[in-house]
Structure 1
């Protein structure tokens, strides 16, 4: 929605500038008299505003549409990697150059890899953006049972990393177990990446086994037992991809009454 509003403002400013330059000044009034703009050197206020805002709005539109776009983390589904109140930057061209608003890909760059943190449009509501980690690639067979992740028959190792006590959505503390998960970015011989996940021993869920269809991805939150993801609402189509998260540029700590958390600024969110 914001990009539509931004594009509308860019188009409005451009229309005002062009109309005043080529239409209003060029057309004489009845009786052959020149228009107001032609007789007076003082430009109307709306033309002055349009000329001032047009380059700024255009640059913002192009940067957000093709280079990087900021997002705020609203929930704890990606703890401990991303915290509530993190403001992140998303690389818009990591998975291909797409046209703003239309979202049609015009240039391929690279494909998503397992372990990437990806922003995408929620399949059930394209106006809503979600952020999760890529777990399943097209054609993968994903199994999840007893809190253990299995991809194409291979158990993905996880190493204990102590406990973790995040704040819940309502500000209450709860303890989770922290693990370091290892996955392969692609095929059996591809590189391995590691990232932190949280597990809650008090929650149980039904075993899952599913094949990822072509052109789709299976997404999971790092806070495994407190995340609504592909386990509940299905796969993410390739055309719903927005970009790859890579950087925390700001953090506002709302749990302690508000304040900037300088320790979060500059945090890298890519798996390693």
Structure 2
């Protein structure tokens, strides 16, 4: 039985049981108490509570109903964790308002009514009257914590976990990084509406963004080219840029990056180590003012694996007729083919960026699914704050390691460092 089926069965069963208790069994318990009071006027409070008390299995059903509702909401919003937090904050805020402006007043009114009936009511009875439902109690208790988390994640720094090797050797799988959310301007959570301008992204920045072909998924790559730049990328994995020099600021930016206007500038790289990182050649590359390492697999150069396939344009059009929601970005990303013929040069549109993974022969990036719109920028990756090792993970097939593969077995403190 898969999780979805289990969730549906648990929801239906718990809703039926809880519904029967609300509309049938609770009424039967109250009728039983009233009959007993008609025979015996002075019934102890504890005895009355025992009669009205739900059976344990019904209480368990109520808990299961709430938990399945929460699980269903989270399931629908995955993998958008930010949306989950914002929805949870909204719910807790509403619960806080209900608790402060309604439930507390209602509880005090019940206490006053109790004192009118009994001059000296039992302390346990007073406590029971004032007691708020558990969901109210938890709801407003979590509100301050959720508010702090949402504010920190949305406007200051957000933690991310590196899920793939596309940024090796700069970032490894299971690195935990901090992303500066205000570097490129503050944005509202979920909607990503820009509130402040911030600094413009620069060549060489390691950036986090919402993938244009997978809108709900965060990607991390290195920003290579700015709006107006023309990018060339050949089968030897050589990178060239003709910088945008249309304005004074663009020319100054190009000069600061060591790029000559009107010239096809080769982005310099030098071999650092043969098979130096996981049997892959390590090069040192300088883009803009940033010098970093990249990986290029020698076999990819040797066999000239250039992935632009002109005939796939017709294949995309045929698939589009069958799957109307299919985008050209998604089509090329799924097939590992280049979006454009980068060897001939492609100009970066305005308000867009060209990004590459540092693992040049093992990354899905702008070569495959095109440019990143500015509105999809999330922030700038600034530091690695932790790296976990998972000793039970199947290195060749990490997705098939079973539940044991999620158990961390160590921490590499030497990975804690700034990102360049």
Interval of TM-score (by shorter of Structure 1 and Structure 2): 0.7 to 0.9
- Choose the corresponding residue for 1:221, options 338, 357, 361: 357
Are the counterparts in 1 of residues 206 and 381 from structure 2 also a CA contact under 8 Å?
Answer: yes
Note the aligned Cα RMSD (angstroms).
2.2
Deviations 1:132-184 (A, max 9, x none): 00001000011112211111111111121113454xxxxxxx51111110122
TM-score of the pair, normalised by structure 1? 0.85
The DSSP-based 3-state class of the residue aligned with 1:96 is coil
Matches within 5 A, 1:45-194: 45-145=134-234, 146-152=236-242, 153-166=264-277, 174-184=278-288, 192-194=289-291
Contact 1:77/1:221, CA 8 A, preserved across alignment: yes
Asked whether the equivalents of residues 90 and 246 of structure 1 are also in contact (C-alpha less than 8 Å), the reply is yes
* 1:34 equivalent in alignment to 2:109: yes
SS of the aligned residue for 2:221 comes to: strand
Aligned residues of 1:248 and 1:264 also touching (Cα < 8 A): no
Instruction: Give the Cα–Cα distance (whole angstroms) in 2 for the partners of residues 114 and 11 of structure 1.
Output: 38
Partner of 2:305: 205
Unaligned runs of 5+ in 2: 1-79, 115-128, 243-263, 307-341, 394-407
Q: Which has the larger radius of gyration?
A: 2
Alpha-carbon displacement from aligned partner over 1:200-241 (angstroms, at most 9, x marks no partner): 111133353211000000000001011111001000000100
The range that moved more, 64-73 or 37-46, is 37-46
Contact 1:25–1:35 (CA under 8 A) maintained in structure 2: no
Contact persistence 1:24–1:35 (CA under 8 A): no
Is residue 248–residue 266 contact of structure 1 (8 Å, CA) maintained in 2?
yes
Secondary structure at the counterpart of residue 299 of structure 2: coil
- Residue number in structure 2 paired with 1:7: 86
Distance 1:79 1:255, change over 3 A: farther
Question: Which structure features the higher share of helix residues?
Answer: 2
Asked if 1:195 corresponds to 2:295, the answer is: no
CA contact 1:70–1:90 (8 Å) conserved in 2 = yes
**TM-score (normalizing by structure 2):** 0.56
SS at match of 1:159: strand
Counterpart Cα distance in 2 of 1:196 and 1:19: 55
Larger strand proportion of the pair? 1
Which of 234, 249, 254 aligns to 2:385? It is: 249
Structure with higher RCO (Cα < 8 A, 6+ apart): 1
State the aligned residue count.
252
